[in-house]
Amino acid sequence: MNRSFKEALQHRRSYYALGSERLVGRTDVEEMVTFALMHVPSAFNSQSSRIVLLMGNAHRRFWQIVKDTLQAQIPAEVFVKTEKKINQSFASGYGTLLFFEDRQVVEVMERKFPLYTSYFSKWSQQTSAMHQLALWCMLEDRGLGASLQHYNPLVDEAVRQEWQLPACWDLVAQMPFGYPLTMPAAKSHESVMERMRVFE
């Protein structure tokens, strides 16, 4: 499916019931990630975003790390519900995208442009958000459901160790994706007139 940009934004939703049915191949997802890394903008062209694509065993291993980490930190009665949600909504999918920002790149930019030192970390997060949205829309356009999760910083160190990632890569968000098993509920919208101002 090839939607317009506006259509892609309109159809992007959070899916919380995912299956592992293969709608696209690994190389197709790799191409999406490559496209996003090549074309999503960043402040001062810093290109600080890093993305890890987990498929198959690696995808399942990540969500096991999340469960193991949470089980050690929350009450058993709470973990039962959490584990069920992870198993049915995230681990049950086809893959997971891990979004990182390279702290080393941000620090270099801070030194290079001292006038903006206090802003580069904020701009880095904005860059990551743009990558997340771009890939969310591309996955949706290929018939895949996805959601955005934030189990960082709880799992950061375990993830770095598991896949031997640089210490300067800071985990920002996780995006499980897969075959959508159910349609999301209708989305509510606040009044646009309360959220926008126009001057001439």
- For the segment 12-38, what is each residue's pLDDT rounded down to a tens digit? 999 999 999 988 999 999 999 999 999
- Please, where are the H alpha helices in the chain? 5-11, 26-39, 56-71, 76-89, 103-112, 120-141, 156-163, 192-195
Q: Which CATH architecture is the domain 5-195 placed in?
A: 3-Layer(aba) Sandwich (3.40)
Label residue 137 by pLDDT band (50, 70, 90): very high
195 φψ region: left (φ > 0), alpha (ψ -120 to 50), beta (else): alpha
For the stretch 124-128, contacts whose Cβ atoms lie closer than 8 Å and that sit 24 or more positions apart, written own/partner, are: 124/42, 124/43, 124/46, 124/48, 125/101, 125/172, 126/43, 127/40, 127/41, 127/42, 127/43, 127/46, 127/48, 127/49, 127/101, 128/49, 128/99, 128/100, 128/101, 128/172, 128/173
pLDDT digits 0-9 by tens, 47-89:
999 999 999 999 999 999 999 999 999 999 999 999 999 999 9
Q: Name every residue whose Cβ is closer than 8 Å to that of residue 5 and which is 6 or more positions away in sequence.
A: 137
Say what the pTM is: 0.95
Q: CA 168 to CA 180: how far, in whole Å?
A: 34
Strand partners, 97: 53, 175
Label residue 1 by pLDDT band (50, 70, 90): low
- What is the token pair recorded at 21? 């049915």
Label residue 183 by pLDDT band (50, 70, 90): confident
